[in-house]
Amino acid sequence: MAISMNWIKDYVDYGDADLKDVANRVTKAGINVEKVESHYIPHLVIGEVVECTPHPDSDHLHVCQVSIGQETLQIVCGASNVRVGIKVIVALPGALLPPDVVIQKSTIRGVESNGMLCALYELGFAEKTKEAYDRGIEEVDASIPVGLDACRALGYDDTLFELDLNPNRSDCNNHIPFSYEVAAVLGKKVTLPSTETHPIKDSVKDSLQVKVETSNCSMYLARMVKDIVIGPSPDFIKHRLEASGMRSINNVVDISNYVMLEYGQPLHFFDADKLGGTILVRMAKDQEEITTLDGKARVLREEDIVITDGEKPVCIAGVMGGANSGIDENTKTIVIESAIFDPYHVRYTSIHHELRSEASLRYEKGLTFEYCQYAMERACHLLEKYASGKVLSDCIVHDKTDKTKKQVSFTLEEINQILGMELTVEDVNRSLDGLGFVYQVAKDVYQVEIPTRRTDVAPNKADLAEEIGRLYGYDHIEATLPTTVSKPGRYIGDVSYRKAVSRRLRSLGLNEVRTYTLISEEEDATFQYARQDAISLLRPMSSDKKVIRQTLLPSLLKVLDYNLARHVKDVCIYEMANVYFNEQEEDTKLAILMHGSLDPVTWQNKNRKVDFYLLKGIIENIFHYLGLQNRYSFASCEIPDFHPGIAANILLDRQVVGVIGKVHPNLAKDAYVLEISLKKLISSKVKPIKFKEVSKYPSVKKDLAFVTSKEVSSQTIQDEIKKAGGRLLTDIQVFDVYEGEHVGKEEKSIAYSLTFQDATKTLTDEEVMNIFHHIIERVEDRLPAKVRDK
Amino acid sequence: MKVIEKVNQMREELEKELASATSSKEVSEIRVKYLGKKGLVTELTANMKELSPEEKREVGSLSNQAKEEFSKKMEEEEKRWKEKELYQKLTSEKIDVTLPAFEMVQGSPHILEKLTEELEELLMSMGYDVVEGPEVEKDLYNFELLNLPKGHPARDAQDTFYTKGEELLLRSQTSPVQIRTMLQNEEKTPIRMICPGKTYRRDDDDATHSHQFTQMEGLLIDKNISLADLKGTFDIIAKKLFGSARQTRFRPSFYPFTEPSVELDISCFNCDGKGCPICKGTGWITVGGAGMVHYKVLENGGYDPKEWTGFAFGFGMERLAMLKYNVTDVRTFYTNDLRVVKPFDRKEVE
C-alpha cells in the first residue's frame, strides 16, 4: 500500500516541490512517510524508428535509425517487433535502468549503437513475463510527439510514499485524506475530484427496494447504472492501481477500487440482473451459507452482517461479496452500494472467516457519512466517463448516522499551556487553516468545527492542541521542568527489600538471571512442593509457554543446561520473580541454583566447590543480613524432584518458607537449589540493630565429641547442649564429623568446640567444668549419644 | 708493652677480624673474644692488683674506653650483617607476582536490572517514587480505565494473553500501575512515579521480538504541566542514558491514554545525526513514547482534568539496553549466558 504522488497532484497542486522535502514535512507533522520511491528514470525519450535494416553480422539484430526530434541515432535492436514507423521508448546513454544497468554508447558486432529501445519490463514498469518478453519492445501511442521525456509522456514518472501510520490515522492510506496533510504542511488547498453526472430520467426506486433491518448498518446508499460496457481501464487508472499495489481487472471493478483508494470508502457493485429487485441488510442467521467471490463456501454466524436479496445472502457486509451477484464480463446494469457498517462487527467477522480485505480493513477503522456520499457520486461519475454507463436519477438512502457537529472552544492560553509553547493567534490560525478546520476567533477565544472526515479528532482542547502543535512543529518547544518542589522519590513497598537481598546475593558471588514467566506443562509438573491452582493461558501461542509458573526452579535448570552446553561449568545464579496462582494470587520467590564451584579453580586449589552446606551458608548469610538469626531452621524431608536424602524444608519461626537441597539426578547432575518465599521473609518483623558491649573477661574454650546414631541430627544435639549450657555458653561450633572404623557402622561422631564466657567476671575452671559435665550428662541422658574418649 | 699500645694493637687486630667476618654470627663470636668474660679487653685489667693507683686509673680508663669503642664498632657491624642477612633471607622468598590472583568472587546484576536501577536512581532524585504492580492484571486496569475500551482497534497492537475470560490477563504494559496509583492516592495530591516491570504480548520470539519484555513507564500529575516539561524531563533521561551530547526531539504519535502523544527520539549516538545504519539514515532513534495524560484517564483516576494536568512516558528496557550496549538479539536477555552476564558487574561510566 503506497500513496501515488502523481495522484495526489490531482487534489493538491504542489507544483515543483521537492517530494523528499514534502515527505519530511509530512513526517514531522506525524504522518510517517517511511520510504520515498521515485519511478522516474531520466534520459528516456520518445523516438520513432525511421530506418530498420538487418544487422550484417547477425540473424536477429537490426540496425535502426531512430529519430528523437533534433537528431537521429543509430541503435542496434534485437526485438522481433522492431520496424520502421513505430514509436518507441529510447534509453539514451547515461540512463540508469533497474536494477543497475547504465546505458552506454557501444559497438555491437562491429556496428555502433547509441542507446537502447526498451520494453516496459526492462524499465521496471511491468512484470517480466513470457508474454511481455515475446511482445518485444514497447510500441507507444503514435500520437505522442518524438523527443518528449518518455516517463512523463507515458505517466511513469510517479513518486510513491510508503507510510507507516499510527492506528488513529489509517485514513491517510487513502489519497484524499492524505492530500489534506500535504496541503496542510504546504499551506495549500485541497480540490476534490469531480462527481458530476448526467443522470437519465429513470428512477432506481422502480427497480430496487432497499431495507435495513440491523442497527449495525448506519448508512446504506444505493444507486443504479445501466448499459455499462466492460473493457479495459484507461492507463492512468491502471497505473495508479498498480502503484497502490492492486491489479487492474476491468474498467468497472477498477473504478470501485479507485474510488476506495481516493476516499477510503469501500464500494460494492452488484450485477443488478443477478441480484433481483431487493436488498435487505440484516444479521446473518446461524449456519446460513454463502459462497464468496473467491469461490469458497462460508458458514455464517449471527454476529455477521449480511446483504441479502431478500432471502439468501449475496454479500458479507464490508468483507466480501457473494459469487451469486458479482460483476462479470456480461454485466450490463449494476447496483452500487456505498455503506457504513459497524466497525467491530466487520472486524470480528473478517477475523473469524479469515477474510481480511482492503475493504474490511477500512470498515474496521470507521468511516464518515460525508465520504460515503462523495464516493457514491464519484463512482457514478467515473462509470459514466469510463464505462459508458447511464446513471439513474436518484439514490436510495438509509441514513442513521450522527450528524452532530463536533465543535470545540478554547483559548490561545489553554493551547499554549498544554504545548508549553508561546504561539500567537497568527500561528494558531495558520495551523487551523492548513488543516482545513473552520473556526472563529475573538479575543484569543476560538470556536472550531472539526471536519467530519477527521474521525480521530475529538472535540476537546487536548486534541486541538495536538493538531495545532504537530503542524506548528514540536521542535519549537523550549524544554522546561515541572516547577513544583517535590520530596525525594523512594521505593514503595517491597522493592527496596528485594533489591537489598539481591545486592547481598551478588556480593556473595551469585549472578542474577531473568527467565520467562510462562513455562510448559511439563515444566509446571516439576518441583510441585507447594502446589496451588496454576493459571494457564486461554490461547497459548506455543506449548512451551502455556502456564504461569509457581516455581522458578525449572527455569533455573534451563539456564544451567544452556550454560553447560556452552562449557560454562560454574553456574551460581539466582532469580527473584513474582509467581501467580489461584487466578490472581501473587508471591515473590527467590530461587538459587548452584553448580560446579563458587570461585574458579586456581593453581592454589583453594576454590569452594558447591555442595549442600555452601548453599545453606548462602541462605543463612541472607537470614543473618535480614536480622533473622536464631529464627530459622532446616528440617530434612523428601521433596518432589529433589534428592531424597539431600533435601530440607527451610523454616522461619517454625513456618515453612522454602525448600533447599540437591536436584534429583534424573533432572540434573550435581545441581543444588533453593527456593524461598520473599513475601514471607518480608512480612516477619525484625528488631532494630542493637549495640552489644564485648565482655572484658576472658573466654574459655572446651572441645567434646559425641558418638551417636546416624539418624540423630546435629541440630538435636546442639539444642540439648545449648539448653544445658545456659547463658554462659556463648558459642557452639562443629569442628569435625566422623564416620568410619573407629565408630559403629550405624554411628557417627560429631565434635563440638564450646566457648564459655561471662560478661561480669572471669570464669573459674570449676564453674566451666560444672557446666561442661552438665552438658555431657544432659546429652547422654536425653539422646542415644555417648561422649567420645571420656 | 704499654697498655695504650696493647689497645692499639688490639684495635688493629679487631678491625682485621671484623673485616674478614662473613656473618652476624661471626661478629658475635668476635664480640665474645674481645668483650666476653674472658675476653681480650677484660684481660687488660687482669693484673690490676699489681699496679699503682695511677697506673690503675690509666689502665681502667683505657680499658673502659676500649670496651666502649669496640662494643660500638661491633654492634654496628653486627647490625649491618643482620640487615644484610635478613634481606637475603627475604629475597630468597621472592614470589612470581604475575601468577594469577585469588579471584574475589562477585556476582553480576542482570543487564536489564542494572539499566532499570540506573533510571530509577535518576528519577528518584527527581522526585519520582518507584512503584510496582501485579503482572496478572484485570482488563479494567490494563485497558478499560486507560481509554482502551473493548473493541478498540489499538488493542490489536498489543494482542494480549488472557488467563480468564475477558477479565484477567498478563499485563501488556505497565500503565495499569499508573491508574492504580492515581486511584489509591485518595488525597488527590500531585504524583510523580515510575513503574518498571515485566510485560507480555503475543509476539513470536525472534531477534527483535519477545513475548515477555520490560517496560519502565513514568507518570507525573500536577498543575499547569506542559509538553515542554515532558521535553525537559526526557532530555535529562536521554542524556543520562546515552551521553550529554544527545539531542532530543518529539514526533507526533498516537496512544489512547495520552493527548497529545509523541514519540521520543534521540539524535543517533553512532553517527551524531548524520545518518547511519543504526538510525536507518534518519539521524534519529526512537527510544520511547510519551504524551500529556488523556483527560479520560485523569477522570478515571479520580483527578479532575479541569484542575489537573500531567504527562506520562514509557520506555522498553530491552530496546534501551540493546541500543546502549549494542545487543543484537533480544533473547540474549533471557538465555542468561554467564559469559554475557558477568561483564556487567561494573560501575557505569559517569
CATH number of the domain to which A551 belongs: 3.30.930.10
Same-domain status, B170 and B265: yes
Q: How far is CA B238 from CA B248, B273, B321, B323, in A?
A: 7, 15, 13, 12
Domain identity same for A517 and A633: yes
- Residue among A549, A545, A518, A546 at smallest CA distance from A532: A549
- Measured CA to CA in angstroms, residue A765 lies from A700, A701, A725, A732, A790 at distances of 9, 11, 15, 19, 18
- Residue A397 to residue A403: CA distance in whole angstroms: 15
3-state percent helix, strand, coil for chain A, nearest multiple of 5? 30, 30, 40
Q: Which residues of chain A have pLDDT under 50?
A: none
Closest-approach residue (CA) in chain B for A365: B153
From A481, A486, A515, residue closest to B232, measured CB to CB: A481
How close A552 gets to chain B, by Cα (Å)? 13
A106 and A85 belong to one structural domain: yes
Considering the domain boundaries, does residue A195 fall inside one? no
| Cβ count within 10 A of residue A490 | 12
Residues in chain A with CB shorter than 8 Å from the CB of B333 are 514
Nearest CA of chain A to the CA of B109: how many Å? Answer: 5
Q: Which residues contact A175 (CB under 8 A, 6 or more apart)?
A: A3, A4, A7, A8, A11, A261, A262
Burial of A316 (0-12, 13-18, 19+ CB in 10 A): buried
CB contact under 8 Å between A479 and B228, yes or no, is yes
In-domain check, residue B148: yes
Q: Are B44 and B188 part of one and the same domain?
A: no
**Is B128 part of a structural domain of the chain?**
yes
Q: Hey, CA dihedral for B297, B301, B302, B305, is it positive or negative?
A: negative
Q: What share of chain B is helix, strand, coil (3-state, %, to 5)?
A: 45, 20, 35
Amino acid A530: pLDDT: 83
Q: Closest Cα of chain B to A351: distance in Å?
A: 12
For residue B85, being part of any structural domain is answered with yes
Q: Does B153 contact A364 at a Cβ distance shorter than 8 Å?
A: yes
**Residue B81 and residue B119 in one domain:** no
Same domain for B67 and B123, yes or no, is: no
Name the minimum distance, in Å, from the CA of A516 to any CA of chain B: 7
Nearest CA in chain B to A493: B131
CA proximity to B116, closest of B216, B22, B207: B216
In a mutational test of the B interface, the residue from A460, A496, A512 whose CB has the highest number of chain B CBs within 10 Å is A512
Q: Does B329 touch chain A (CB under 8 A)?
A: no
User: Sign of the CA dihedral B188, B189, B192, B194?
Assistant: negative
Q: Please give the helix or strand (H or E) that residue A134 lies within, else none.
A: helix A130-135
Tell me which chain B residues have a C-beta less than 8 angstroms from the C-beta of A502: 109, 113
| Residue B270 C-alpha, separation from nearest chain A C-alpha, in angstroms | 21
Across the interface, do B125 and A489 touch by the CB < 8 Å criterion?
Answer: yes
Q: Does the beta carbon of B261 lie under 8 angstroms from any beta carbon of chain A? A: yes
Is the domain of B57 the same as that of B15?
yes
Location of C-alpha cell 532499570: B116
Contact B130, B196 (CB under 8 A): yes
Q: What cell numbers appear for A539 in the block? A: 490461547
Contact across the interface for A513 and B110, Cβ inside 8 Å: yes
Buried/exposed code over B247-273 (b: 16+ C-beta within 10 A; e: otherwise): bbbbbbbbbbbbbbbbbbbbbbbbeeb
Output the nine-digit C-alpha cell for B178: 499508573
Contacts of B168 (CB under 8 A, 6+ apart): A583, A584, B136, B137, B138, B139, B162
In what helix (H) or strand (E) does residue A617 lie, and over which residues does it extend?
Answer: helix A612-625
Place of cell 541515432: A73
Q: Which residues of A touch B345 (CB under 8 A)?
A: 506
* Residues in B touching A482 (Cβ below 8 Å): 220, 222, 225, 229, 233
pTM: 0.85
Which residues of chain A are within 8 Å of residue B131 when distances are taken between CB atoms? 492-493
| Length of chain B (residues) | 350
Q: Does B107 touch chain A (CB under 8 A)?
A: yes
Last residue of a domain, one of B25, B57, B91: B91
Q: Based on the fold, state whether residues A390 and A429 are members of the same structural domain.
A: no
A484, three cell numbers: 513544583
Q: Whole-angstrom Cα distance, residue B216 to residue B318?
A: 10
User: Considering the domain boundaries, does residue B161 fall inside one?
Assistant: yes
**For each of chain B's 350 residues, which pLDDT tens digit applies?**
778 888 888 899 999 999 999 999 999 999 999 888 888 888 888 777 888 888 888 888 888 888 899 999 999 999 999 999 999 999 999 999 999 888 888 999 999 999 999 999 999 999 999 999 999 999 999 999 999 988 776 676 558 999 988 899 999 999 999 999 999 999 999 999 999 999 999 999 999 999 999 999 999 999 999 999 999 999 999 999 999 999 999 999 999 999 999 999 999 988 888 888 888 888 899 999 999 999 999 999 999 999 999 999 999 999 999 999 999 999 999 999 999 999 999 888 77
Contact B132 A495 (CB under 8 A): yes
Asked if B338's CB is within 8 angstroms of A571's CB, the reply is yes
Chain A residues whose CB is inside 8 A of the B141 CB are none
B189 — contact with chain A (CB < 8 Å)? no
Length reported for chain A: 790
CB contact under 8 A, A537 and B338: no
Domain containing residue A182: CATH number: 3.30.56.10
Question: Based on the domain organization, do A8 and A55 belong to the same domain?
Answer: no
For residue A693, tell me if it sits in a domain. no
DSSP state of A478: P
Query: How many whole angstroms separate alpha carbon A185 and alpha carbon A193?
Result: 21
* Contact (CB<8Å) B227/A510: no
A30, A51: one domain: no
Q: How far is B337 from chain A (nearest CA, A)?
A: 6
Q: Does A322 lie in the same domain as A452?
A: no
- A462 inside domain: yes
B275 at interface of A, judged by CB pairs closer than 8 A: no
Could B134 and A538 be called an inter-chain contact, meaning their C-beta atoms sit closer than 8 Å? no
Three cell numbers written together for A330: 456480461
Q: Are A659 and A639 in contact (CB under 8 A)?
A: yes
Q: CA of B314, closest CA in chain A: separation in Å? A: 17
Domain region containing B13: 3-91
Sign of the Cα torsion A150, A154, A159, A160 reads negative
Q: Are A64 and A49 in contact (CB under 8 A)?
A: yes
CATH of the domain at A759: 3.30.70.380
CA distance B259 to chain A (A): 6
| Chain-chain contact of A603 with B100 (C-beta, under 8 angstroms) | yes
The letter for the amino acid at B208 is T
Q: Inter-chain contact A566–B339, Cβ cutoff 8 Å?
A: yes
Contacts of A168 in chain B (CB under 8 A): 154, 254
Whether residue B103 is contained in a domain is answered as no
A95 is in which domain, residue-wise?
44-154
* CATH classification of the domain holding B176: 3.30.930.10
Q: What is the ipTM of this complex?
A: 0.88
Say yes or no: B278 and B339 in one domain: yes
User: In chain B, whose CA is at the least distance from the CA of A564?
Assistant: B337
**B85 and B115 inside one domain:** no
Last residue of a domain, one of A415, A435, A470: A470
Domain membership of residue A753 (yes or no) is yes
Total domain count, chain A: 6
Domain boundary among B40, B62, B91: B91
Residues in chain A within 8 Å Cβ distance of B236: 481
B57 and B117, same structural domain?
no
- Amino acid of residue B17: E
Residues sharing a CB contact under 8 Å with residue A644, sequence separation 6 or more, in sequence order = A638, A664
For residues A315 and A321, the answer to whether their CB atoms sit within 8 Å is yes
Q: Is A516 in contact with B211 (Cβ distance < 8 A)?
A: yes
Q: Which of A399, A434, A455 is the last residue of a domain?
A: A399
User: Nine-digit cell at A564?
Assistant: 553447560
- Give the count of Cβ contacts less than 8 A between chain A and B: 262
| Closest CB from B134, B192, B295 relative to A462 | B295
Write out the E strands in A202-332.
209-212, 217-226, 267-271, 278-283, 289-291, 297-299, 305-308, 313-316, 320-321
Residue B180 counted as domain residue: yes
Boundary (domain end) residue, out of B60, B91, B122: B91
Task: Examine the domain organization and report whether B284 and B190 are in the same domain.
Answer: yes
**pLDDT in the model for residue A280:** 96
Same domain, B199 and B52: no
DSSP per residue over A9-35, as a string? TTTS--TT--HHHHHHHHHHTT--EEE
Considering the domain boundaries, does residue B350 fall inside one? no
Q: Is B60 exposed, middle or buried (0-12, 13-18, 19+ CB in 10 A)?
A: middle
Q: Which helix (H) or strand (E) holds A200?
A: none
Whether residue A49 sits in one domain with residue A30? no
Same domain (yes/no): A278, A262:
yes
In the numeric block, which cell numbers belong to residue A399?
A: 441514513
Measured between beta carbons, the chain A residues lying within 8 angstroms of B306 are none
The answer to whether position A199 is within a domain reads no
Q: Which member of B103, B109, B235 has the closest CB to residue A479?
A: B235
Number of domains into which chain B is organized: 2
- For residue B198, the chain A residue with the least C-alpha distance is A517
Q: Is residue A691 part of a domain?
A: no
Q: Are residues B169 and B283 in the same domain?
A: yes
Rg of chain B taking only CA atoms, in angstroms:
43
Contacts B211 to A, Cβ<8 Å: 516, 518, 541, 545
> What is the distance between the alpha carbons of residues A446 and A419, in angstroms, rounded to a whole number?
16
A169/B254 Cβ within 8 A:
yes
Asked whether residue B42 is domain-assigned, the answer is yes
Beta-carbon separation of A584 and B134 below 8 A? yes
Q: Using the 3D structure, point to which of A683, A718, A735 is the last residue of a domain.
A: A683
Please indicate, yes or no, whether residues A547 and A410 belong to a single structural domain of this protein.
no
